[in-house]
A and B are shown apart, each in its own frame.
Chain A
Amino acid sequence: MSLLSIRNLHAYIGEREILKGVNLDVERGEVHSIMGPNGNGKSTLAGVIAGNPKYTVTEGEVIYNGKNILDMPVDVRASEGIFLGFQYPVEIPGVSITNFMRTAVNEQRKYRGLDPLGAAEFLRLMEEKKKIVEMTTKLANRSVNEGFSGGEKKKNEIFQMAMLEPTLAILDETDSGLDIDALRIVASGVNQLRRPDNATIVITHYQRLLDYIVPDFVHILYEGRIVKTGPKELALRLEHEGYDWIRHEIDQQ
């Protein structure tokens, strides 16, 4: 059974249909990359899987770990192991990363029937995970994303992923805004978090990231549908030729 299986997914934002019949299967242990021109629905797909209430699903199903998750509240999906790395992480003044993560970790543990982590244990966990993305202590004591640079925000997303150890991570343009060193750090963080029983979906515009996080499949999301799936070399071709040839192929069909 696939970890994630999406069938004929249609989703709206307001009156506008963004996803127009998406099909996708992801197995445990795999890395999938989703590419596609701006505004074609990549973030929408990620948001629908994570459960953002601003989208309305009108047709289709999303089966995760054997469960239809479309009726599950956002936080339950997270506790079931779904993680979304935001393209635009939200600034939350007044909430420190530490409190935010402590609440998140302990609520997820509660969901799984585990005891909450005490302060000392939690701090130890945080120190350990901070190393994965080479995050400084100063950052961790600040309000969530408030005043963070673009790159710091993205690092913070991967730090949260490391804290929560998801089964399915969807990383929406985690590479955008990162300098060359940060890109390497973030990619290596993601790789360290890979396990045979989890899976990663990376949404990106650039082949560069895929040199570090090597995908098993590359999908092209075009006008609300996955129109093409191929091996990692597909990303290379997109890098060189852009999306015109895809448009061509579709027009001819």
Chain B
Amino acid sequence: MDELIQQFGQLRQQLKKNEVWRNVDFGTVLTDSMRLPHADEGGKYSFHCRVPNIDSYCVITENGYCHQSLMETSEGIVYGSLRAAKEQRADLVALVMGRGSGSDNPYRRMNDAGYSDGVFIYVPQGCHPAKPLQLLSLHTAEASLFMQCRNAIYLGDGSDVTIIHCDDSTNQHTGMSNNVTEMVMGSNAVADYYKLQNINDNSGLLNHTYVTLAAGAHLLSVGITLNGGTIRNHSEVSMMGEGCDVEADGLYINDHIQQVDNYIYVDHLHPSCHSRALYKGILDDAAHATFNGHVMVREGAAKTEAYQTNRNILLTDKATVATKPFLEIYNDDVKCSHGSSIGQIDDDAMFYLRSRGISEKSARTLLLYAFCDEVVGRIRLEPLRQRLSDLIKQRLHGELVVCAECALACNSHCGCSDSEFTIDPTLL
């Protein structure tokens, strides 16, 4: 095993007493045959997102490396490989990297020291791109890999951008990714950030997201974990000016012995900011989920509104959840609440649906789907919302598998058949 991989495996020992990191365990993901990727494995993957009506500026990172040269659109958007951007547009890269947003931690430091490549996106001031930007991180190599990507996103003042960010495996090889995404939002910038994760049951993903918002910026983030062996989403959001708005929602559907751990830290430093986090999860078999939410309201942050909710449905006795929403408040002029729940499928609702002739399986899917819909419904990009609805239906039917392409591009040949069960309200 490469020294770097060993080092990663040992971080857990160091962090055993760390409140924020002690649950994180990628020990079972790391294997002896795991190695670092080579810069030249990949680049052959041609991607065409099959979500109908989504045409995007797309950047693919394959096995830790991005093979796309740096592009500049007529609107002034610069996007492509981070390595390339550092060589060619160091001035722009400096707007994001090294600005020290979010907290320090050993996993992040490892990424700092050893990331291979990743995606850079620069959106100029006032820009409203006609198309969404899409980041795709794929594990395509026929080998077990340890990957560290670094993504840097700069959204200029008053820009308004939709970003789709997908992490997928396209085969059953074990992958471990320690990815860091930093995003800097200028004043009054608006970002709809959709994160989709569909990796195989053996793989691990430690996904760090550090976002800073200048005054008046608005972040909508919806993260959907469809599948994955061990996933940790570590998100830190800092509102660095007045009047920011953060809506951060998450949905996770896990089965077998999968583990998913969502950590979100929302920092209110200035007055009149609003944040809301809604995380929902469905856990089947012996899956385990952790939710750690932390809202920090600082002394100067008067008129803060902050809400945090985590809801879970456990489908078996063996599935488990540890949920800990937490508010830390240092001023009086705030409206805050937090709550969490862990429950089962409601028997009365089940009986009601079945009493109309709906089979147990369909009734269950309907109820679980309805549970998910609250999060999926936040997606403002209609074709994406549709597609995710379908994927979630498939997932709830146990049909969704990791296929030769990313989940969004997947079509029927890989077993992700369109479900016969049509429950899309917008069509009716």
Contact = CB atoms under 8 A, between A and B. Distances in A.
Do A and B pair up? The answer is yes
Interface of A: 50-54, 73-75, 78-79, 83-84, 86, 89-90, 92-96, 98-104, 107-108, 111, 119, 122-123, 141, 143-144, 160, 164
A53 B359 contact: no
Given A75-B356, A95-B353, A103-B358, 8 more contacts: A75-B357, A75-B360, A90-B348, A95-B369, A98-B425, A99-B366, A99-B423, A101-B356
Contact of A103 (B347, B349, B362, B427): B362
Contact of A53 (B351, B356, B370, B423): B351
Contact of A54 (B347, B359, B424): B347
8 contacts: A75-B355, A90-B346, A93-B370, A94-B373, A95-B423, A103-B358, A104-B358, A143-B370
B382 interface: no
A141 to B, nearest CB: 8
Nearest to B352: A90
B354 interface: yes
Nearest to B425: A96
B358 A102 contact: no
Nearest to A76: B357
A94 B370 contact: yes
B55 interface: no
B428 A123 contact: yes
Given A54-B347, A103-B358, A95 B428 contact: no
Contacts of B359: 75, 107
B374 A94 contact: yes
B355 A95 contact: no
Contacts of A100: 353, 356, 358, 366
Contacts of A83: 355-356
Nearest to B421: A103
Nearest to B356: A104
Interface string B366-394: 11011101100000000000000000000
A119 B369 CA distance: 20
B346 to A, nearest CB: 8
Contacts of B421: 103
Q: What is the size category of the interface that chain B forms with chain A?
A: 20 to 34
Contacts of A101: 356
B147 to A, nearest CB: 37
B228 to A, nearest CB: 24
Pairs of residues from A and B, 8 with the lowest C-beta to C-beta distance, nearest first: A94-B370, A78-B357, A104-B356, A90-B352, A108-B357, A74-B354, A75-B354, A99-B423
A169 to B, nearest CB: 12
Contacts of B346: 90
B103 interface: no
A130 B410 CA distance: 39
Contact of A92 (B353, B357, B374): B353
B367 A95 contact: yes
Interface in B72-100: none
Contacts of A111: 357
A54 B348 CA distance: 9
A103 B355 contact: no
Given A90-B349, A107-B362, A119 B428 contact: yes
Given A74-B351, A78-B354, A94 B360 contact: no
A53 B425 CA distance: 30
B351 A52 contact: yes
Contacts of A144: 352
Nearest to A80: B357
A102 B370 contact: no
B412 interface: no
A73 B354 CA distance: 9
B370 A92 contact: yes
A168 B266 CA distance: 56
B18 interface: no
Contacts of A50: 355
Contacts of B105: none
A90 B363 CA distance: 14
Interface in B313-365: 346-349, 351-360, 362-363
Contacts of A119: 427-428
B355 A102 contact: no
B422 interface: yes
